[in-house]
């Protein structure tokens, strides 16, 4: 083992984390690695000094005292106290209203389970096309989204996990359908985030052994079913997806981006697939900016080498290697554009602040929103 291989272990060792025997043996006899460890210790101590100096001298009065409890709690308290009709009848009435207004339909039994991953299956009219996405059911912020671009017309769906009670799962679902004429105006496709920006969210309960129907204006009812899994489906968007990409498919599954031998983005749970004449996938990480990848040339992009599940390129004098969980494209080349200063538009301010991956049927969609 040499110093560069052991370097990450120095950091782990400094944090009291276990390291391999080989790394420990190297560190014991290496002057340079001990100097690195010493640097870390000095930096840490000085940083804590900075922290002491930066801490506010006086603690301000807490504004939280001025805030009442959330409105929902008030409503609940009032409801409990002033109910004048039998609660059972009221509950039935609520269920009826929900079922009528939300287009909720319980159709047929589905298998259940206890794993933390929920594989959602969408059966989309008019031809019953089946799509999938998966979400984890132990984080409130988990979102999965998908688009179907060849219905005819386009539909965009996003699902946000809200909470889980046993095998019941509450989901917030957004959808929008663009008929063929509207889809034409969409510049060959759009991102899910942009298409769903102004769409209202509907909340549903997905019950065990049931499916639910989600009404889509202009299209009909999508039948949604769910299946718990112990692990994330290997192909989150389609468990039946073959290893070989389709001719017009461009996909980045679970990408890891390495710059000069250091991992700078690791989207272990993220993947995106695009199909179309100019398919593209973007990878964003705070502090690093946005990378746009496409198998077709586009303005400002450089040509990269693609081999099965790897893309390599040199940008600004740094060597990049993108590794993914499956072959990316049937094309022989991939084009890459790095936008280090790119930030989410203000209109998407409710989106997660962390790294993300997103796809579009046309690379122009991303260039347009720059």
Partner 1 sequence: MGAHVAGDHELWERIRERDASAFEAFYRENAARLCAYLRQIVGNAQAAEDVMQETFTQMWRSPNGFRPDLGTLRGYLFGIGRKRAAEWWRKRERAPEQQGEKRVEESAEGTASFSAIGDAFARLAEDQRSLLWLREVEGQSYAELAEILQIPVGTVKSRLFAAREELRHIWRSSGSGARSEK
* Residue 153 backbone zone (phi > 0: left; psi -120 to 50: alpha; other: beta): left
Instruction: List the 143-148 sheet strands across, edge first.
Output: 143-148, 154-165, 168-178, 202-206
Which is closer to partner 1, CB of 125 or CB of 269?
269
**152-162 burial, b if ≥16 CB within 10 A, otherwise e?**
ebbbbbbbbbb
Nearer to partner 1 by Cβ, of 2 and 39: the residue is 39
Q: Number of C-alpha atoms within 13 angstroms, CB side, residue 150? A: 8
| Among 70, 89, 100, 181, interactor with partner 1 by CB under 8 A | 70
Interface characters, 125-144, with partner 1 (x: CB under 8 A): --------------xxx---
Q: Which of 44, 152, 242, 300 binds partner 1 (CB under 8 A)?
A: 44
* 166 binds partner 1 per the rule CB under 8 A: no
Identify the three-state secondary structure at position 347.
helix
Q: What is the C-alpha separation between 292 and 282, in angstroms, rounded?
A: 4
A 10 A CB-CB count for 143 gives 18
Which are the contacts of 166, defined by CB distance < 8 A and separation ≥ 6?
A: 208
Give the list of residues 6+ apart from residue 174 with CB closer than 8 angstroms, or none.
156, 157, 158, 196, 199, 200, 201, 202
Nearer to partner 1, 56 or 81 (CB): 56
Interaction mask 273-292, partner 1, x per CB under 8 A: -------------xxx----
Answer for which of 21, 28, 63, 316 binds partner 1 (CB under 8 A) is: 63
Q: Which range touches partner 1 (CB under 8 A), out of 44-52, 202-210, 239-247, 304-312?
A: 44-52
Min. distance of Cβ 319 from partner 1 in angstroms? 16
Q: Is residue 85 involved in binding partner 1 (CB under 8 A)?
A: no
Which of 2, 25, 48, 111 is close enough to bind partner 1 by CB under 8 A? 48
Residue 354 in contact with partner 1, rule: CB under 8 A: yes
CA 211 distance to own-chain centroid = 24
Q: How far apart are CA 307 and CA 240, in angstroms?
A: 23
Select 67 or 181, whichever has its Cβ closest to partner 1. 67
- Write down the residue that tokens 């692990």 correspond to: 231
How many chain residues touch partner 1 (CB under 8 A)? Answer: 53
C-alpha 316/C-alpha 335 separation (Å) is 15
> Cα–Cα distance between 303 and 300 in angstroms, integer?
10
| 184 belongs to the binding site for partner 1 (CB under 8 A) | no
Q: How far apart are the first and last CA of the chain?
A: 44
Nearer to partner 1 among residue 49 and residue 209 (C-beta) = 49
Task: Report the residue from 29, 60, 81, 86 that binds partner 1 according to the rule CB under 8 A.
Answer: 60
Site map 326..345 versus partner 1, x via CB under 8 A? -----------------xx-
Only segment of 53-61, 98-106, 293-301, 331-339 that touches partner 1 (CB under 8 A)? 53-61
Footprint of partner 1 (CB under 8 A): 7-8, 10-12, 15, 17, 35-36, 38-40, 42-44, 46-51, 53-56, 59-60, 62-70, 139-141, 262-264, 266, 268, 286-288, 343-344, 346, 349, 353-354
């Amino acid at each position: 083992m040499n110093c560069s291989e052991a370097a990450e272990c120095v950091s782990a060792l400094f944090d009291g984390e276990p390291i391999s025997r080989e790394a420990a043996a190297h560190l014991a006899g290496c002057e340079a690695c001990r100097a690195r460890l010493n640097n870390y210790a000095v930096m840490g101590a000085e940083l804590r000094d900075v922290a002491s100096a930066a801490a506010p001298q006086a603690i301000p009065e807490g504004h939280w005292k001025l805030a009442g409890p959330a409105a929902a709690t008030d409503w609940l308290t009032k409801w409990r106290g002033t109910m004048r009709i039998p609660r059972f009848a009221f509950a039935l009435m609520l269920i009826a209203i929900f079922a009528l207004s939300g287009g909720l339909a319980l159709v047929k039994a589905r298998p259940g389970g206890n794993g933390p991953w929920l594989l959602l299956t969408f059966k989309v009219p008019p031809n019953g096309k089946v799509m999938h996405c998966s979400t984890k059911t132990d984080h409130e912020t988990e979102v999965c989204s998908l688009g179907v671009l060849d219905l005819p017309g386009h539909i965009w769906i996003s699902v946000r996990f809200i909470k889980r009670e046993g095998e019941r799962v509450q989901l917030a679902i957004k959808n929008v359908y663009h008929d063929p004429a509207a889809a034409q105006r969409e510049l060959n496709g759009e991102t899910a985030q942009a298409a769903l920006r102004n769409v209202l969210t509907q909340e549903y309960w997905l019950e065990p052994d049931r499916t639910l129907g989600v009404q889509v204006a202009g299209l009909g009812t999508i039948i949604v079913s769910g299946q718990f899994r112990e692990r994330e489906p290997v192909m989150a968007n389609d468990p039946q997806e073959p290893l070989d990409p389709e001719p017009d498919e461009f996909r980045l599954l679970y990408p890891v981006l390495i710059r000069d031998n250091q991992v700078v983005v690791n989207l272990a749970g993220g993947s995106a697939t695009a199909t179309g004449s100019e398919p593209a996938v973007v990878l964003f990480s705070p502090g690093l900016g946005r990378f746009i990848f496409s198998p077709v040339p586009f303005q400002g992009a450089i040509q990269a080498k693609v081999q099965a599940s790897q893309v390599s390129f040199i940008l600004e004098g740094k060597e990049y290697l993108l590794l993914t969980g499956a072959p990316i494209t049937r094309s022989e080349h991939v084009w890459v554009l790095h936008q280090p200063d790119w930030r989410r538009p203000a209109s998407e301010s409710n989106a997660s602040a962390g790294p993300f991956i997103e796809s579009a049927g046309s690379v122009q969609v991303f260039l347009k929103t720059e």
